[in-house]
Amino acid sequence: MSTSQIALLASVQQFLDRQHGLYIDGAPCAAQSENRLTVWDPATGQAIATTADASPADVDRAVMSAWRAFVDRRWAGRTPADRERILLRFADLVEQHGEELAQLETLEQGKSIAISRAFEVGCTLNWMRYTAGLTTKISGRTLDVSIPFPQGARYQAWTKKEPVGVVAGIVPWNFPLMIGMWKVMPALAAGCSIVIKPSETTPLTLLRVAELATQAGIPDGVFNVVTGSGAGCGAALTAHPQVAKVSFTGSTATGKQIARVAADRLTRVTLELGGKNPAIVLKDADPQWVIEGLMTGSFLNQGQVCAASSRIYIEAPLFDTLVSGFEQAVKSLQVGPGMQETAQINPVVSRAHCDKVAAYLEEARQQKAELISGSAGPDAGGYYIPPTLVVNPDAGLRLSREEVFGPVVNLVRVADGEEALRLANDSDFGLTASVWTRDLTQALNYTDRLQAGTVWVNSHTLIDANLPFGGMKQSGTGRDFGPDWLDGWCETKSVCVRY
């Protein structure tokens, strides 16, 4: 099997070689802060670029640029059809530069180039075009006044949708381009302005995409990018008094901090947070479907997926068969750098995250848990964690309760489906879940009783632009996607006219 890597596009190398600053008011610009952050290649541990570490003053400059653009209605005042046309042109430019963006994504995040092409570019384009189409579907309602006052008075009443204002979008490092566009596109479709902050680990693709947005015709100041640490840049952004809405994807701990800050000014928030997502496998399930579906559901992007299946509860009659099948599948995975097209498992995003995942596994080893691991990967300075099955781990282990966010999945034997359901719901999280069975009646019974924002049957991690997505419990507040998506980026105003 080939271990050669794809050739780097000249445009990618040129972009890496730039002195990256911020993107404010329609153009790249230097930060006032002289602090720099290094972007590392997870496959080698080598530096590939540096970016600005924005100060609170830099953040203020970006937010005020967005605020001026919103107040003078250079974007919000355009017709919905005009905004839709420009957003579709934006999507076309992302498609034209798709290979460049995919390579940047793999270099800074570590994921497979195939996943970057299919998800970070391909799926992102689907979401961009879907959301652009919603621009012309924003509408209010005509309503009757139910109790006119004074008696006999005549009224005409209606509602209208207005953009909420300046949006702060905080983007995680696992799917920077795709999740970034999940924030940019609904904001722009609704007529808002946005300041987006990518993770300091993976800032490059959103800096490049901002240039494409300007090229597409999105007015200056409507789409701004600030780079920097969460504690500095991110905190200043979410606390800014001109920010009307915060859309955050990331850890539950950080989401709680943002919610506390937002509560002080009653800033609108959408939080898509962590998950410890269960899969329930009933004894009549098709073993081949289960293995194929949950290998992807568990190990896609090295398990660095908020919706990933990280604990699989298997009814006893099928348990040994599936453990054997998963073991064969895990040990057959080829581990290597993301730029190697044949590699199926790639490095995790950073040295710090690699150490964190390794600590979970070390605790399990010390507690005598049964671990089944695949290849350890290249020994060349990269951030590799072998794909690992943890068989019947003790419920007290941290990896049984916490979101590991790595290529680690627990396989747990249960007596029956009711025990599986009890264990599945015994969690602080409630993002996703799946049920595996040939019995549709059984499947629907479990979908009603699982405490999760999304429940799949005989699949896992299917996320679609037309299906609302979000979590229960400590997995978040609000919903993204679906035909009503833009409601979360608008205010509803009631108008009542007496005549």
Give catalytic residues, as residue numbers: 272
Q: Closest Cα to residue 356, out of 407, 305, 428? A: 407
Using only the alpha carbons of the chain, give its radius of gyration. 24
β-pairing, 432-436 with 429-430?
Answer: unpaired
Q: Closest Cα to residue 430, out of 453, 400, 448? A: 453
List alpha helices for 284-382, DSSP H.
287-299, 316-331, 351-366
The span from the CA of 112 to the CA of 336, in Å, is: 9
Burial class (CB in 10 A: 0-12, 13-18, 19+), 402: middle
* Spatial CB neighbours of 27, under 8 Å, sequence gap ≥ 6: 214, 220
Q: Going edge to edge, which strands form the sheet with 155-163?
A: 142-143, 155-163, 490-498
Burial class (CB in 10 A: 0-12, 13-18, 19+), 98: middle
The span from the CA of 427 to the CA of 275, in Å, is: 9
List alpha helices for 341-439, DSSP H.
351-366, 398-401, 417-425
* Residue carrying structure tokens 């530096």: 47
The span from the CA of 345 to the CA of 387, in Å, is: 7
What residues are paired with 434 via a beta bridge?
279, 456
The span from the CA of 225 to the CA of 211, in Å, is: 10
Q: Closest Cα to residue 93, out of 182, 208, 12? A: 208
β-pairing, 454-457 with 432-436?
Answer: parallel
For the chain, give the longest Cα–Cα distance.
83
Q: Which two tokens stand for residue 159?
A: 């509602």
